[in-house]
Amino acid sequence: MLIRVTWSNGTQSELDVSVPEGATPLRTSFQAPAPPTALHRQEDGSWACWHKGPEILRGYCQPQWMLGRSLCGPDWSEALQDTGIARCLRMVDELGHPYFTEEAWTRDRELRILHARKFHFHGHSTEQEAIDCYQDFLRDFGERELV
């Protein structure tokens, strides 16, 4: 049996699927991709939980590409001088509200300094350890999990 799939970009794929003798297809199921999550399987097989938004990463687990970068981030005046960060500081949501305020930026930076010892680049051996680490971050920063 030939199955033809048309993708959102207009391309098509064809799959030749064998039908068991005496069977007829009843239904098909195309699973939508899983929604984005903070849980990541790393190249070494370990687990980490972090969320990357327009700002600095959220979570104590840090990916290897963050090695050598400041985990606490610049203060507000330094952030305004950095072209890339300043562009993010000017971002607004669909209602025109800024994503960042000086007060929120400063609060986040102070919490990062306070909890600096908890940030790490090693992964966790289990998914649950990574999830627990992320939940610890959310509690410490007074945040809710992104939905």
**CA atoms in the 13 A half-sphere facing the CB of 68:** 2
This prediction's pTM: 0.66
Predicted confidence (pLDDT) per residue in 96-136, tens digit = 888 888 998 999 999 999 999 999 999 999 999 999 999 99
pLDDT (tens digit per residue) in 3-34: 887 777 778 888 888 888 888 776 666 665 65
Closest CA to 91 of 108, 78, 104, 107: 104
In the chain, where the domains are located: 39-141
Tokens representing residue 112 in the block: 């990062």
Single out the residue of 112, 139, 113, 17 nearest to residue 57, CA to CA: 112
